[in-house]
Every structure is written in structure tokens, then in C-alpha cells.
Amino acid sequence: MRTLKMPSGGRMPVLGQGTWRMGEDPRRRADEVDALRYGIDLGLTLIDTAEMYGEGEAEKIVGDAIEGRRDEVFLVSKVYPHNASRRAMRVACERSLRRLRTDHIDVYLLHWRGSIPLAETFEAFFALREEGKIRDFGVSNFDVEDMEEARQYDRGLTATDQVLDNLMRRGIEWDLLPWCRRHHMPIMAYSPFHEGKLLTKPALRIIAARHEATPAQIALAWLLHQDDVATIPKSSRRERLEENRGALDVKLTREDLAELDEAFPQPTHKVPLAVS
């Protein structure tokens, strides 16, 4: 598994597991825990979650899944914007740590920008980092203007920006992705299948057939061929996890990439940062 270097020196795998919508139905809890554990078995050791997901229930599921295996896992969680003050973030982080049953989070993200000044949010991040509760910090759903402002307070240590990025939503390629590359900051792409809408597109099916792969694997391979992008597809099914893992073995050719650019054109102007 290729990894991306974090400011602390930690290494974030480029392909992992998301947990959005986990923890919302108690009847699915055992299957969700099993899926995360199986994903770890497959090498999908990057796990992304948030205090928002199931109002903490997703973090509890992750805690169950990583019990006895914490050292194998690269753990990302996110804090609500209204908890992004110095005092509230410490309380929120400690709650997340208890639910996750760990003593540290590898990367702790501000889920989206709220009303609390970024200067105070980064003070809170640094305090948690110094206390060892988090190894690195980052942001989510930040566009270039937000990143420029954050740069005034983060001492150049923001680890990643987690944003929506897939073949149907390529807006970040106009300015955000180049900005992050200039500052040696990887992107963490969520919703790589665009909630399944992408997987029905003919271009993906044609290229998938050429590689004896699936459309989902082509969608992931397109993200993974970029040196500075990680992605976190979510699944609660073992066969889907195996499929996602198989994307690491798909090597797209120049012809493939050109066909994808034709079917899903790159942006020609600035567009608002997509969140869905």
C-alpha cells in the first residue's frame, strides 16, 4: 500500500475505508464492525470517521473494529465546527477518544468551516497535538480562500484537506488541487463513486472491460494514479471491500486517462467547492 507522508512523519495509506452512515441502524452494527475488520485484513487500514456520523455511534463501531489492532490502523476523525474552540475541541476530542477506545487520533479534521475563528481552531489543534491526543490535524471542505486563511495560523502543518473529488466532480483541479500540491499537502477524496451515480457511466464500463475490472475499480484507480490523493470509499459488504482493494492492481494507461478526460472533462473555470 502506497502511503503519503504527514507533517508528524506518520504515513497515511492512499486507500482506506469510510464510515459515513454507519451507526445509524443498530440492526446493522455487527455487519458494519465485521466489514471494517475485514477491510483491515485486506490492508485497508486507513479508517475515516467523525463525531457527526451517527452522533458518535460510527466512532463506537470503529472502536469495536480496531480493538486489539490499533497499531495496524491509521485513524482519522472529524470535529463539528461548533466544537472547534480551544475548550470545546478538547472535550469533543476526549469524547471521540473514549468512543474509539484509543489514546490518540492520527489525523483530526475540522469537518467544515463554522463561525469560530480559524486562529482559535488552530490553537486548539496545536494544544491537542502537544498533549499527544492527536498526531496531525487538517481540514475538510475547505476551498482555496479558506486554505489561504488557514495558512496564516497553521505554521504550515495542516496535513490534508478532505473534499469531494471524483470523475463527475473535478472542480478542485482548477485551483484547490494545484494549491495543495504547491504546499505539499495531499487531498483526501470522499464520495469517489458519487453515491453510485458514476458507476453507470458507459466510459467506465468500457475501460473496466478492457482491464477485466469493474467500474468502481476504474473510478478508484483514476484517483489513485495521482501521487498526492488518498480516498476513502465506504462499504459494509465484504465483496465490495475486496473490489475496492482490487483497484490498487489496476494501472490506467494514457489511452484510458484520455478517454476519461473526454467523458468527464476537466474544469475550464473556477467552480464552487462541491459537497455533494
- Which residues are catalytically annotated? 53
Alpha-carbon 31 to chain mean position: 22
Cβ contacts of residue 230 below 8 Å, gap of 6+?
Answer: 4, 12, 13, 14, 15, 16, 46, 160, 186, 187, 188, 189
C-alpha cell at 224: 489513485
* DSSP-derived secondary structure for 182-198: HTT--EEEE-TTTTTGG
Cβ contacts of residue 15 below 8 Å, gap of 6+?
Answer: 1, 44, 46, 220, 224, 230, 231, 233, 244, 245, 247, 248
Report DSSP state, residue 220. Answer: H
Note whether 162 and 176 are within 8 A (CB): no
b/e map of 237-252 (b: 16 or more CB within 10 Å)? eeebbebbbbbbebeb
d(CA 207, CA 24): 36
* DSSP-derived secondary structure for 236-260: S-HHHHHHHHHGGG----HHHHHHH
